[in-house]
Structure formats: C-alpha cells, structure tokens
Structure 1
Amino acid sequence: MSVPVDKDQLLVAMKKSQDALVKKLLRIPADQAFIPQLKGHVQGTQMSAANLVSYLIGWGEQVMYWHQQERNGEKIDFPAAGYKWNELGKLAQKYYADYADITSWPVLLEKQTYTHQQLIELVERYSNDELYGVPWYKTWTRGRMIQFNTASPCKNAATRLSALLKK
C-alpha cells in the first residue's frame, strides 16, 4: 500500500495494518508472548512479542498525548519528553517498561486494540484539510505524523511477527 495522502487513505491504512497485525498476534501462544525472541529496537537486543505490542501502545498513546498537548495550548514534545529523534531505540525501551506490569497476553492485546480504536477516533475528528492540508510538525502534515507512528509501526510489527511465526 502506498503512503496515505488523505484522511480516507489514512483510515484504511490504519485499519488494514491493525487487522493484519491482530491476525498474527492471535497466533502467538500466551506462554511464548513474553519470551525475547525478536530483534529489538536497539541494535544487539532482543524483545518479546509483548515488548513489540507495548511499543505499539506506547507510540499510540504518544500520538494522542501530542494532540492533548496541542489542545491544552502547550508546546508539543516531539518525539517525547526527554527524547530526541535519534534516540528512538531508548524510547522503545521506555515503552517496553511502561507496560511491563501487564503480564497477561490477552490483557495486553486488549489494550493495544483499545489504543488503536482511540487513534481511529482521533483521526475521525479532523478534516482532511487539518490532516493533510498544512504542515503540522516542521514540513510534515498531521496525517503523515499519525501515519508514521501508527500504520507504519503496525505493518513493521506484523512483518517481525511473521518471522517469529515461521520458527
């Protein structure tokens, strides 16, 4: 699928990547979900499927937080408070830790699905022009920033899980 250029395409990309991801996540046995078997987001590290889901939840909640900061008239912390764009591996590890207390695979999956639904609702609140008509962060539109941190990571996660499921 090509990069979305409007609201409808963004929603399709988000839903399609989520559907493909969920199909793969449901094939991960709960007793395997927390075992580090995947290449981590930091070179030389391993992560579990649960870490990968935590990463997706973390980014989803970060995108929603950017919008909360904007609504509150605050300066938006891109990518996140205390992190720079060249420190995304460290940010990924923070997201793993943020949800490490969720030790039930079904509960973690439910949280990821809920986060995804909140992101869909966020996108639905904006017009096409608000999403794609003007730059929002530097030269990037709001829609592109949402896509970078929702549909793209979901698609990447599904690819990572494919390798695990072939073992």
Structure 2
Amino acid sequence: MSSVPQNKVELMSAISDIFEKLQRDINGIPVEFSRICEIEGNVKGTKISVCDTLAYLTGWGKLVLFWYEEKAAARVVTFPADGFKWNQLGLLAQHFQHEYRDWSFHALQQELLVTTQSIITLIKSLDNSELYEQAWYEKWTLGRMIQFNTSSPMKNVRTKIRRFKKVNKLR
C-alpha cells in the first residue's frame, strides 16, 4: 500500500492501523503525565500535553464529520472552520485544545475513539466513487480530505507521543 490511501479500503485501513498504534502508545501513559507540556505544539515555540494532542485529533475528526454533514445537507461550509483561515491552523489547534481543556485524560481518549469510529462508519457508508472519484472541496476528494485530517495528523502526533514517552522513560 502506498503511504497515501488511494481508495476506500486503503483509507479505512490507514485510519484504523495508525489509530490502534496511537492508542497503544497512549494507553502506556500514566494519567499524572497526561497534562505535562513537553510535546512540540502546532504553533511555533509552544509546548503542549498528551491531553492537548488528543483534543487536537478529536477536534479535527469532529470537524471532518461536521463538513460532511453540512455539505450533505447542501449548506455552505466555511473551510477550515468559522473564524479560521487555512493559514491559521495553529490557532485552530489551540482552539481545539481550549475547547477540551477541562476534559479528563480518560474522557479525551474515549472521545477520540468515538470520533474515529464515527469517521470509519461514515467511510463505510460511502462508495469509492464518492470518496475518490470526484472533487469534494476545491481539487481535493472527500477521501483525501478525510486522510489529511485523520490518519496524517495521527501519524504526526504518534511520533511526538513516542518521543515524549522516551524522554519521560515510559517505555
């Protein structure tokens, strides 16, 4: 399989595989380490926590679901989100982190699980043509937009989580 999913089966596999690996890594982190800000943030020069990374991934996953629901209902969608432009993704990441700042480590893990399962369910409900054979947002297919905002950031976050675990001797 190429590193970029080219069809429905590869997309589901990419998301499921990286999510399972990320979940294993996160499950090895004690709750008392979950709010330590030692992970490179999405805004240059910032440090975030494991909980913040979960908020970031959940925020993007929920945004993907929102985009789909709004477009399916023929409503106008502001990309990437109301109040944010594509060159403000660091600020959007901070918005997600702020939105979930009071959630427990366990609740964030659960929310990411439910969100990821909802994305897989959405993908299963669509055919390959809907996902990969037509532009959905500008030149991008729906499958690509889902991948850009799920499996790709999950891979990036997993690298950061593994580095955090190594530094904190949590292997």
Shorter-normalised TM range: over 0.9
CA-to-partner distance for each residue in 1:63-101, whole Å, 9 max, x for gaps?
A: 000011112211112111111110000000000011112
Q: Establish whether residue 137 from structure 1 lines up as the match of residue 137 from structure 2.
A: yes
* Aligned-pair identity (%): 39
Amino acid of the structure 1 residue aligned with 2:5: P
C-alpha distance in structure 1 between counterparts of 2:99 and 2:72, whole Å: 24
- Per the normalisation by structure 1, the TM-score is 0.97
C-alpha distance in structure 2 between counterparts of 1:5 and 1:78, whole Å: 23
Q: Which runs of 5+ in 1 are unaligned?
A: none
Q: CA deviation at 1:146?
A: 0.3
Q: Which runs of 5+ in 2 are unaligned?
A: none
C-alpha distance in structure 2 between counterparts of 1:77 and 1:68, whole Å: 13
How many residues align structurally? 166
Match of 1:86 in 2: 87
> Secondary structure of 1:41's match?
coil
Bigger Cα displacement from structure 2, 69-78 vs 119-128: 69-78
Q: Establish whether residue 153 from structure 1 lines up as the match of residue 153 from structure 2.
A: yes
Match of 1:7 in 2: 8
Q: Which runs of 4+ in 1 moved over 3 A?
A: none
Q: What is the aligned-residue RMSD (CA, Å)?
A: 0.8
Matches within 5 A, 1:69-80: 69-80=70-81
C-alpha distance in structure 1 between counterparts of 2:66 and 2:94, whole Å: 18
